[in-house]
Amino acid sequence: MCSRDCCSNPRGKAGDKSAINDPADSTIVPTAQSQLYPYEVIQEIADFIVKGSGIRPKIGIICGSGLGSLADIIQDAKVFEYEKIPNFPVSTVEGHAGRLVVGTLEGANVMAMQGRFHFYEGYPLAKCSMPVRVMKLCGVEYLFATNAAGGINPKYAVGDIMLMHDHVNMLGFAGNSPLQGPNDPRFGPRFPALVNSYNRDLINKAIEISKIMGIESNIHVGVYSCLGGPTYETIAELKALRMMGVDAVGMSTVHEVITARHCDMKVFAFSLITNKCSIEYSDKKDDEANHEEVMAVAKNRQKACCELVSRLIAEIQKGS
């Protein structure tokens, strides 16, 4: 196990002073985000997974809130509990089981995170997206990132799927990035470009698949934004996001996509619209987002989400 403070659970263990910064201790030097998980530590984690599973995955899947069933359809699955993976954080959110599932889907070698890490859990962004680098060093070429999100675009209904074609990085606007700190060129360049981050070919294929599935009227192509959470948005914030061209809002994915594009992975991402974000002031309880509703909608729509992902992976396999 890595003994460095940075890799440990931020909540620490009872009596474990190493997890708490002492403001009076002038010897503590703040660690830049990019230094939290050096290349060698990521390599160790990747080796542990590849050796333990006997599989070199090509596609990495991140299951959004309530969408853990995307990993349940993986065949010949080898399951790694996050607690048992050296230097891996733990999942603390309901609907995020905290397991890595490695196996095959539609003939492709895949690895899926049944549980992701969020900024609001107390993890720095580089820690939230560290598993994407692990995927890269395991051999992953394609990242499939999924999330539950609130629909801001008035045309979106609960249960619709928004294929992400762009994002607005609100945490980035505020000066926070998983790439902040010295750059390790073994992962990627100092200044990665993010135009065309969301693979157009995969978006087009997903649209074609939605027609075959008969769900094309529930599919949109739009812009996602990640806020820090854990609060859901105020009406004024939702109005501001809408003015900025945001169609769906959540608390994840963007830093994962940044990390994936930095190391040149192809990205496909979608949001399941689990609640409508009303931008009108009202006293209606129905207008308040809540995590139980998010999970219930995700459970209802998991079949369609699984089919979309499976069929898209089958398309990738056909082309390889």
Ligand X SMILES: O=P(O)(O)O[C@H]1O[C@H](CO)[C@@H](O)[C@H]1O
Residues found near ligand GUN in the complex (CB under 6 A): 148-150, 227, 229, 232-233, 249-251, 274-275, 277, 289, 294
How far is Cα of residue 216 from the mean position of the Cα atoms in its chain?
A: 24
State the CB neighbour count (10 A cutoff) for residue 314.
14
Say whether 167 is catalytic.
no
Binding to ligand X (CB under 6 A): which residues in 78-117? 93, 116
Does 190 carry a binding-site annotation?
Answer: no
Nearer to ligand GUN, 131 or 150 (CB): 150
Which of 64, 89, 131, 188 touches ligand X (CB under 6 A)? Answer: 64
Q: What one-character DSSP code corresponds to residue 234?
A: P
Instruction: Identify the three-state secondary structure at position 301.
Output: helix
Nearer to ligand GUN, 52 or 229 (CB): 229
H-run or E-run covering 254: helix 254-262
Q: CA angle 154-257-259, nearest 5°?
A: 155
- Closest residue (Cβ) to ligand GUN? 150
* String of contacts with ligand X for each residue 167-196, x by CB under 6 A: ------------------------------
Partner that binds at residue 118, options ligand X, ligand GUN, none, CB closer than 5 to 8 Å by kind: ligand X
| Under rule CB under 6 A, residue 299 binds ligand X | no
| Under rule CB under 6 A, residue 147 binds ligand X | yes
Active-site residue, selected from the candidate residues 71, 251, 265, 304:
251
Stretch that binds ligand X, among 40-48, 156-164, 245-253, 260-268 (CB under 6 A): 245-253
Say whether 65 is catalytic.
yes
| Under rule CB under 6 A, residue 251 binds ligand X | yes
% helix / strand / coil in the chain, to the nearest 5? 35, 20, 45
Cα(60)–Cα(54) distance, rounded to whole angstroms? 16
Contacts (Cβ under 8 Å, ≥6 apart) of 160: 151, 218, 219, 220, 272, 273
State the CB neighbour count (10 A cutoff) for residue 180.
16
Does 65 carry a binding-site annotation?
Answer: yes
Cα(2)–Cα(262) distance, rounded to whole angstroms? 25
Q: If you count DSSP H runs as helices and E runs as strands, how many of each does the chain have, helices first?
A: 9, 9
Contacts (Cβ under 8 Å, ≥6 apart) of 278: 235, 238, 287
Does 44 carry a binding-site annotation?
Answer: no
Does 282 carry a binding-site annotation?
Answer: no
Contacts (Cβ under 8 Å, ≥6 apart) of 138: 46, 49, 50, 56, 57, 60, 111
* String of contacts with ligand X for each residue 16-45, x by CB under 6 A: ------------------------------
Say whether 210 is catalytic.
no
Does 218 carry a binding-site annotation?
Answer: no
How far is Cα of residue 291 from the mean position of the Cα atoms in its chain?
A: 17
Active-site residue, selected from the candidate residues 87, 225, 271, 275:
275
Say whether 252 is catalytic.
yes
Cα(45)–Cα(49) distance, rounded to whole angstroms? 6
Residues that bind ligand X (CB under 6 A): 64-65, 93, 116, 118, 147-148, 229, 250-252, 291, 294
Residue numbers in the known binding site are 65, 96, 116-118, 148, 233, 252, 275
Query: Can you say which residues are annotated as belonging to the binding site for a purine D-ribonucleoside?
Result: 233, 275
- Binding region for phosphate: 65, 96, 116-118, 148, 252
Q: What are the residue numbers of the active site? A: 65, 96, 118, 120-121, 148, 251-252, 275, 291
